[in-house]
Amino acid sequence: MARVSFTPHLARFLDCPPVEVDGTTVRSALERVFATNPRLRGYVLDEHARLRPHVAVFVDGRPVSDRARLDDAIEARSELYVLQALSGG
């Protein structure tokens, strides 16, 4: 299972401990997280399900390539990090 970790910055607003989920893409992994933590969705994605402009997602050390589709493939043991981009201040 892939492991998804969130910036501690988000803990100011809601609980989001690291979770292990199944998924073949960044999108599918995140959707499984949101299924159990629905409030988190609006903090990471906008209303068009795009990554928010000042949120960064890394997969095994690489930033995602398509911030709208989030269709980067992930491995069974991938490590995903959802972080605040420093562009957000």
Partner 1 sequence: MSRRLWISTRKGLFRAEHSADGWELRNPPAFLGSPVSAALEDPRDGMLYAALSLGHFGVKLHRSEDLGTTWTELGAPSYAFAADPDGGEEALAKAPALELAWSLEPGGADEPGVLWCGTIPGGLFRSEDRGKTWAANRALWDRPERARWFGGGFDKPGIHSILVDPRDSQHVTVGVSCGGVWTSHDAGASWEIRTAGMYADYMPPEQREDPAIQDPHRLVACAADPDALWVQHHNGIFRSRDGGRLWRDCPRARPSAFGFAVAVHPEDPNVAWFVPGIKDEYRVPVDARFVVSRTRDGGDSFETLERGLPHRAAYDLVYRHALDVHADGETLGLASTTGNLWVSENGGDQWSALSHHLPPVYAVRFAA
Name the site residues for partner 1 (rule: CB under 8 A).
Answer: 9-10, 12-13, 39, 42-44, 46-48, 50, 52, 54-55, 68-69, 84-85, 88-89
Q: Which is nearer to partner 1, 29 or 51 (CB)?
A: 51
Tokens of 71: 């269709």
As measured in angstroms, the least distance from the Cβ of 58 to partner 1 is: 15
Q: Which is nearer to partner 1, 10 or 19 (CB)?
A: 10
Separation of alpha carbons 83 and 33, rounded Å:
15
As measured in angstroms, the least distance from the Cβ of 55 to partner 1 is: 6
| Strand order from edge to edge, sheet including 62-63 | 19-21, 2-6, 79-84, 55-59, 62-63
Separation of alpha carbons 60 and 41, rounded Å:
22
